[in-house]
DNA sequence: TCCGTAATGAACGGTTGTGTTCATAATTTT
DNA sequence: AAAATTATGAACACAACCGTTCATTACGGA
């Protein structure tokens, strides 16, 4: 059915026909993120997730009482842990490394699912996700940017009063906007352009 | 029913009980924008728009074959015409006036509906709206910003190589992001902060 | 091997929404 | 005034989905 048959894999050991426990939950979480990305939270259905995970609705309802609970657990399980700020020796180097990482994260499957959720935060039905998005995505991002800028300040490269909440929002905002406007991967500015055209002019000492 | 009765308005002239033609279409467009804002495009239904406009589905289907066609016509009808760039005599003044206007537009009913559509451009079902959003919202905005910056350049206030497509995207991107993150009206940066903290440092000559 | 547990696929009653049709009534045009 | 047009509200068959239940089967552990 879903795992390959023993014959197909050429293995002597018996391979289970059914997933159970954590293996099934992983598949369900993966299907959940995929559905978030393709149809959004508004149109995500338990039936759709079950079909995508190649299981039955009953297996979902045994674990989660609602679509919201399922999506919340899927996000919790798949969001990456906090990262440390890069330290390349120069402000520009740090910023380019950081923006490159942000870019990679945004184009990952988890990143795409998070963007889908963020698109719906304006609506009542997705409001419950604001907290997790802020705590696990927005604030860690802001913190990393602020950390890099603080180190740059110690090196005498950053204008102290330039680091405001507005400024630390600029890069994620810009990247999300460009993705949304349909620029695609090829149309995305590279990390160097973002740093050199936007961020450095704002923060660096003349 | 929906228009007030003659007695309620104290008028001698007979007031129609039913809206027809353009009056009905205006009501339907208004209901459409309202539904976009409250439930989003994904969950907008013909039935919901009809109920909100206090009319019947048949009146909608007589005019529009689908939800997409209705929403497209509603946007076309309600998007404001192009504006001219402000000219206050200084770069900073122009930018503040422009950002103030953008802010007003974003918090208008039409603006909220456009933001709702923009949130869904990542998804296949709303992809048809990319063109109108770019042509009637994004490009006019970008053009105004570029115009103000060009005038600033003539005045010797703007660093010529600073005006890039990335830079002209910064302000709308930032405003949309802040709204989405639930800052609400009170948490929005005022136009002066956006101009002084973000845009001017990028573009102005030292 | 046996037993308890969990997965599977199907079915169910109920709700919501689609696109259509229709009888009636309101309104405009002739 | 009569005819034509359009709005209104209701109803319809169908599809999709919800949340639940169930019989059967697979699987892990004792």
Cβ < 7 Å from nucleic strand C? A 1-2, 18-21, 24, 54-59, 62; B 16-18, 20, 43, 45-48, 56-58, 61, 65-67
Q: Which member of A40, A116, A166 has the closest CB to residue B198?
A: A166
User: Of A61-65, A140-144, A182-186, where does mean pLDDT reach its minimum?
Assistant: A182-186
pLDDT band at residue A3 under the 50/70/90 scheme: very low
pLDDT digits (tens, 9 = 90+) for B165-203: 999 999 999 999 999 987 666 667 799 999 999 999 999
SS3 A204: strand
Q: What proportion of chain A, given as a percentage, has pLDDT over 70?
A: 91
Residue B78 contacts A, CB cutoff 8 Å: no
- Dist CA A5 CA A8 (whole Å): 5
Average pLDDT of chain A?
A: 90
Q: Which member of B119, B121, B203 has the closest CB to residue A120?
A: B119
DSSP B140: H
Residues contacting A96, CB < 8 A, separation 6+? A191, A192, A195
- Strand residue runs (E) in A39-84: none
pLDDT band at residue A7 under the 50/70/90 scheme: very low
CA of A199 to C1' of D30 (A): 64
H/E element, B94: helix B91-106
Note the pLDDT of residue A193. Answer: 95
CB B157 within 8 A of CB B141: no
Note the pLDDT of residue B3. Answer: 40
* Dihedral (Cα; B27, B30, B35, B37), 10-degree rounding: -170
Q: Determine whether the interchain pair B194/A166 forms a contact, defined as Cβ–Cβ distance below 8 Å.
A: yes
- Dist CA B17 CA B9 (whole Å): 13
Note the pLDDT of residue B185. Answer: 62
- Whether the predicted pLDDT of A44 surpasses 70: yes
Residues of chain B with pLDDT under 50: 1-12
Note the pLDDT of residue B14. Answer: 65
Residue A179 contacts B, CB cutoff 8 Å: yes
CA of A54 to C1' of D24 (A): 18
Note the pLDDT of residue A10. Answer: 37
Residue B145 contacts A, CB cutoff 8 Å: no
CB B42 within 8 A of CB B91: no
Residue A86 contacts B, CB cutoff 8 Å: no
The dihedrals phi and psi of A204, each to the nearest 5 degrees, come to -80, 150
Asked if this assembly's ipTM is beyond 0.85, the reply is yes
CA of A12 to C1' of D28 (A): 20
Q: Determine whether the interchain pair A122/B119 forms a contact, defined as Cβ–Cβ distance below 8 Å.
A: yes
What residues are paired with B204 via a beta bridge?
B158
A57 touches strand D (CB under 7 A): yes
Question: Higher pLDDT residue, A13 or A42?
Answer: A42
Can you tell me the mean pLDDT for A39-63? 96
Q: Determine whether the interchain pair B162/A201 forms a contact, defined as Cβ–Cβ distance below 8 Å.
A: yes
Residues contacting B26, CB < 8 A, separation 6+? none
Note the pLDDT of residue A23. Answer: 94
Q: Determine whether the interchain pair A162/B116 forms a contact, defined as Cβ–Cβ distance below 8 Å.
A: no
Note the pLDDT of residue A5. Answer: 38
SS3 B44: coil
End-to-end CA distance of chain A: 64
Nearest to A198 by CA among B153, B156, B174, B139: B174
Residues contacting B136, CB < 8 A, separation 6+? B75, B76, B79
Q: Which member of A42, A116, A206 has the closest CB to residue B122?
A: A116
Q: Rounded to whole angstroms, what are the CA distances from A161 to A70, A167, B196?
A: 43, 11, 11
- Whether the predicted pLDDT of A177 surpasses 60: yes
Q: Which member of A134, A166, A198 has the closest CB to residue B193?
A: A166
Note the pLDDT of residue A184. Answer: 60
User: Of A103-117, A127-141, B1-15, B70-84, where does mean pLDDT reach its minimum?
Assistant: B1-15
Residues of chain B positioned with their CB less than 8 A from the CB of A39: 123
């Amino acid at each position: 059915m879903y795992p390959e048959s023993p014959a197909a894999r050429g293995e002597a050991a018996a391979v289970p026909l059914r997933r159970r426990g954590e293996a099934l939950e992983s598949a369900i979480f993966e299907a959940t993120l995929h559905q978030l990305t393709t149809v959004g939270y508004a149109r995500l259905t338990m039936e759709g997730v079950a079909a995508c995970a190649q299981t039955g609705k009953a297996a979902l309802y045994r674990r989660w009482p609602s679509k919201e609970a399922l999506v919340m657990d899927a996000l919790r399980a798949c969001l990456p842990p906090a990262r440390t700020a890069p330290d390349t020796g120069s402000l520009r180097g740090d910023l380019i490394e950081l923006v490159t990482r942000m870019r990679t994260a945004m184009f990952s499957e988890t990143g795409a699912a998070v963007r889908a959720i963020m698109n719906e935060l304006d609506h009542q039905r997705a409001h419950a996700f604001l907290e997790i998005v802020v705590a696990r995505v927005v604030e860690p991002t802001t913190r990393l940017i602020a950390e890099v800028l603080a180190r740059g300040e110690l090196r005498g490269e950053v204008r102290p009063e330039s680091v405001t909440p507005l400024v630390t929002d600029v890069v994620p905002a810009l990247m999300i906007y460009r993705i949304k406007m349909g620029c695609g991967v090829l149309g995305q500015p590279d990390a160097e352009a973002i740093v050199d055209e936007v961020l450095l002019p704002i923060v660096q000492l003349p």
